[in-house]
């Protein structure tokens, strides 16, 4: 039996970052991964594949050029599933190669197989040939992620009725698609398929979609979706899903309505992948969604030498935050200082158009009774937006009325997930409205929207003497530009 300084279970973003961090401390690290290749959901079925599919669709359909050339413009006519999958496999191979090289360079050992606890310090791994091997360690990090929620009464067939993992292995391009679940994953796929001119219907039991995003932004986004012909059916509970013949499906709603489409994507939730871990052997247990509870500052579970990081601990369930959690857990496990993560991190939704947001929403500020003022900009107000032919794109910034500090940035439109980082830096460094008004931005850029939104907010701010002077200066500088 081999002993390690650290055993990491799972090679997704959380596990990989934990393993590499521990290896940098010159520790002997083992990563156990049950998948045939390293990378986790992030590389094989989640983040990277969905974003690659999105990019392929936007390129092949000529989506970004349609503002100029009209809705019927296409770079490639008659797009086939093979066209979509080709780029996917090249991208994934590249990602796996980078990871494998990273593990090799840092002398992280790997074993392919399914891990389960034998005791709180001993793991047994079932290898692909069915044999088992045991390993021990003083520290264990669980980074096992999640799997799609697949209710027993939904007749998944991997062809017409699919989950988000299966949709990547598309056998045919449907003419119509019903997406059950209007969460982030459901909305991303709904808008990607809509960009392919597939007729899309989204069903969700809630009264509002994307409730954690600033509602003005969501309204703007949903207006865009409806304008493109996406049907949104809220407060819709699904009673039954059925395949009818060789090429269509029916979703029956509890209120008696029926929705017919060629394909159904069931994207209503994910489940922690803790089933195979034999948690009781480590004195641990998961909640009813298979997730583990941890101390949020150290990522320790109730058993001090066992950590849990990434999607298995729930919100925010992002690749970006998972990596950071992995790094922090490894640091804590080996007695290194860890700083608490900054309060605000960006959230990106790679729908078409994309959404990104950081900090507080208008709704949160109202709830907390914090006085604020907003400023907005539309991308079509920027020269870069004109050049790109953008007809949509919206940025909203929220500032404190008490001390002028930036409290939140909310963006929907082209480049939102990149643009947000300017707001993130200012927000986490405690910057104010003045930063955006006084600084010069490259021209022509979409980032100029920050300046426009800030000036818009400034115009609405109560006019103290200082405000007036600064505003005058800013306008003079803009006029000279
Ligand atoms: C469709 C989709 C799109 C997404 N898009 C984004 C995005 O745009 N941006 C973003 O930041 N995040 C996105 N995410 C979320 C992101 O993929 C996850 O937050 C991230 O993958 C979580 O990383 P993780 O390391 O916790 O787990 P995972 O990436 O889920 O990796 C867990 C690994 O553990 C392995 N494992 C499980 N049990 C065992 C066991 N018993 N023994 C051995 N190995 C085991 C699994 O095989 C898997 O490889 C998306 C997710 C999905 C599904």
Spatial CB neighbours of 28, under 8 Å, sequence gap ≥ 6: 4, 5, 6, 109
pLDDT, one tens digit per residue, over 324-376 is 999 999 999 999 988 888 889 999 999 999 999 999 999 999 999 999 999 99
Q: What percent of the chain has pLDDT over 90?
A: 88
Is 8's C-beta closer than 6 angstroms to any atom of ligand 1?
A: no
Six-digit token string for 84: 């979509």
Is 277's C-beta closer than 6 angstroms to any atom of ligand 1?
A: yes
> Can you give the pTM of this predicted structure?
0.93
Is 142's C-beta closer than 6 angstroms to any atom of ligand 1?
A: no
Euclidean distance between CA atoms 123 and 26, whole angstroms: 22
pLDDT, one tens digit per residue, over 418-462 is 999 999 999 999 999 999 999 999 999 999 999 999 999 999 998
Average pLDDT over residues 386-412: 95
State the pLDDT at residue 342: 86
pLDDT, one tens digit per residue, over 324-337 is 999 999 999 999 98
Is 320's C-beta closer than 6 angstroms to any atom of ligand 1?
A: yes
Is 10's C-beta closer than 6 angstroms to any atom of ligand 1?
A: yes
Atom of ligand 1 nearest to the CA of 311: 26
Assess whether pLDDT exceeds 90 at residue 67. no
Is 114's C-beta closer than 6 angstroms to any atom of ligand 1?
A: yes
Q: Mean pLDDT score of the chain, rounded to an integer?
A: 94
State the pLDDT at residue 447: 97
Q: Ligand 1 test: best mutation among 8, 10, 186, most atoms within 8 Å of CB?
A: 10
State the pLDDT at residue 468: 52
Euclidean distance between CA atoms 179 and 203, whole angstroms: 6
**Cα 94 to ligand 1 centroid, rounded to whole Å:** 18
Euclidean distance between CA atoms 264 and 330, whole angstroms: 41
Average pLDDT over residues 279-301: 97
State the pLDDT at residue 71: 80
Is 13's C-beta closer than 6 angstroms to any atom of ligand 1?
A: yes
Q: Ligand 1 test: best mutation among 145, 189, 421, most atoms within 8 Å of CB?
A: 145
Q: Calculate the CA dihedral of residues 475, 477, 480, 481 and round it to 10 degrees.
A: -110
Burial (CB count <10 Å: 0-12, 13-18, 19+), residue 214 = buried
Q: Ligand 1 test: best mutation among 15, 19, 40, most atoms within 8 Å of CB?
A: 40
pLDDT, one tens digit per residue, over 436-446 is 999 999 999 99
- Categorize the per-residue pLDDT at 69 as very low, low, confident or very high, splitting at 50, 70 and 90: confident
Identify the CA nearest to 10 among candidates 101, 111, 92: 111
Q: Ligand 1 test: best mutation among 179, 319, 330, most atoms within 8 Å of CB?
A: 319
């Amino acid at each position: 039996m081999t002993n390690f300084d650290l055993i990491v279970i799972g090679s997704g973003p959380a596990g990989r970052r934990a393993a590499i961090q521990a290896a940098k401390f010159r520790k002997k690290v083992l990563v156990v991964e049950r998948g045939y290749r390293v990378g986790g959901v992030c590389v094989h079925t989640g983040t990277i594949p969905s974003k690659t599919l999105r990019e392929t669709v936007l390129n092949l359909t000529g989506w970004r050029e349609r503002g100029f050339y009209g809705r019927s413009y296409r770079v490639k006519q008659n797009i086939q599933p093979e066209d979509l999958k080709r780029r996917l496999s090249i991208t994934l191979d590249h990602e796996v190669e980078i990871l494998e090289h990273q593990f090799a360079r840092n002398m992280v050992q790997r074993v392919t197989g399914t891990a389960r606890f034998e005791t709180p310090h001993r793991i047994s791994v079932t290898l692909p040939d069915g044999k088992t091997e045991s390993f021990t360690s003083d520290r264990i990090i669980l980074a096992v992620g999640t799997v799609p929620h697949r209710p027993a009464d939904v007749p998944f067939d991997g062809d017409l009725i699919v989950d988000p993992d299966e949709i990547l292995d598309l056998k045919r391009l449907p003419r119509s698609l019903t997406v059950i679940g209007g969460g982030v994953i459901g909305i991303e796929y709904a808008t990607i398929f809509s960009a392919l001119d597939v007729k899309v219907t989204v069903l969700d039991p809630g009264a509002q979609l994307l409730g954690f995003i600033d509602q003005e932004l969501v309204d703007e986004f949903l207006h865009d979706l409806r304008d493109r012909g996406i049907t949104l059916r809220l407060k819709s509970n699904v009673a039954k899903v059925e395949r009818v013949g060789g090429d269509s499906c029916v979703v029956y709603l509890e209120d008696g309505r029926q929705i017919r489409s060629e394909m159904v994507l069931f994207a209503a939730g994910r489940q922690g992948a803790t089933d195979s871990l034999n948690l009781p052997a480590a004195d641990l247990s998961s909640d009813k969604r298979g997730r583990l509870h941890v101390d949020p500052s150290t990522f320790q579970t109730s058993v001090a030498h066992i950590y849990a990081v990434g999607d298995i601990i729930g919100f925010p369930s992002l690749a970006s935050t998972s990596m950071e959690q992995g790094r922090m857990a490894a640091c804590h496990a080996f007695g290194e200082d860890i700083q608490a993560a900054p309060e605000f991190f960006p959230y990106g939704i790679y729908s078409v158009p994309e959404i990104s947001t950081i900090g507080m929403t208008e709704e949160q500020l109202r709830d907390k009774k914090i006085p604020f003022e907003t400023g907005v900009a539309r991308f079509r107000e920027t020269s870069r937006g004109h050049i790109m032919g953008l007809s949509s794109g919206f940025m909203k910034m929220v500032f404190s009325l008490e001390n002028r500090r930036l409290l939140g940035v909310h963006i929907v439109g082209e480049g939102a997930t990149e643009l947000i980082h300017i707001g993130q830096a200012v927000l986490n460094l405690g910057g104010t409205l003045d930063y955006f008004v006084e600084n010069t931005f490259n021209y022509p850029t979409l980032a100029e929207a920050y300046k426009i939104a800030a000036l818009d907010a400034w115009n609405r701010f109560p006019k103290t003497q200082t405000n007036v002077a600064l505003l005058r200066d800013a306008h003079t500088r803009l006029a000279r530009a």
